[in-house]
Amino acid sequence: MSSGEFQTYFHRRASRFSAFYASEPVARVLGRGPLFDRLRLAVDMSTALSARRVLDVGCGSGPLFAPLARSGIHVTGIDPAENMVALATTEAARFPGLVEVRRLGWEQLDEVDAYDVAIALGVFDYVGEPADLLGRMGAAAGHVIASFPSPGLRTD
C-alpha cells in the first residue's frame, strides 16, 4: 500500500478502527482481542526499559497514550491520516504536556536518538518497505517494539 493509499484508507476508516478500542470485551468477541494484548505488551516493555520518551508510529486514535502517559512517559504520536490525527489530538488533550500528536507519515521520520522507544503496532500490516520503516525507527530510538502480520496476511 503506498503512502497516499494508506493515508486515504485510514482517513476514511478512522472511527471504525478507533471503535475497536472502545470495549475490550466486545473487541475480544469480535476477534480483535490481540489488539489489547499488543498494547499491554508495548506498555509493559516500555516501562521495563525505563522509557521516558516514546514515539508511537501510526498512532491512530491514540490507544497507547493513556497507559504510557499515566506512567509519566512522554509520547509523540505520528499518523498520516487526517481523521486519525483529529481523534488522537482529542485523546492527547487529556494529558497536557505529556502527549504530542503530529500529522506525519513514517517516510518523513528523520529524527535521530530522540526517543527511548519507538513503537509500531499494526503498522507493518500495511507497509511495503518494512526494512526502511525499521531503520527509521531504529535511528529515532534506542529500542523498537513492533508487531508484524502473520505470513500470508494482506499487505496491500
**Residues pairing with 54 in the sheet:** 75, 117
5 vs 102: CA distance, rounded Å: 19
Under 8 Å between Cβ of 73 and 51: yes
Provide the b/e sequence for 42-81 (b: ≥16 CB within 10 Å).
bbeebeeeebeebbbbbbbbbbbbbbbbeeebbbbbbbbb
Q: Where are the beta strands (DSSP E) in the chain?
A: 53-57, 74-79, 99-103, 115-120, 141-146
pLDDT at 73: 98
| pLDDT value of residue 30 | 64
pLDDT reported for residue 33: 56
Instruction: Tell me what pLDDT residue 3 has.
Output: 53
Q: What is the pLDDT of residue 16?
A: 58
pLDDT in tens, the chain (156 residues): 445 555 555 545 555 565 555 655 665 566 665 677 888 999 999 999 999 999 999 998 999 999 999 999 999 999 998 888 999 999 999 999 999 999 999 999 999 999 999 999 988 888 888 999 999 999 999 999 998 876 654 444
Residue 122's closest CA among 11, 46, 12, 37? Answer: 37
Give the per-residue pLDDT at 22: 61
Q: What is residue 127's predicted lDDT score, i.e. its pLDDT?
A: 85
Q: How far is Cα 31 from Cα 39, in angstroms, rounded to an integer?
A: 15
Q: Residue 138's pLDDT is what?
A: 97
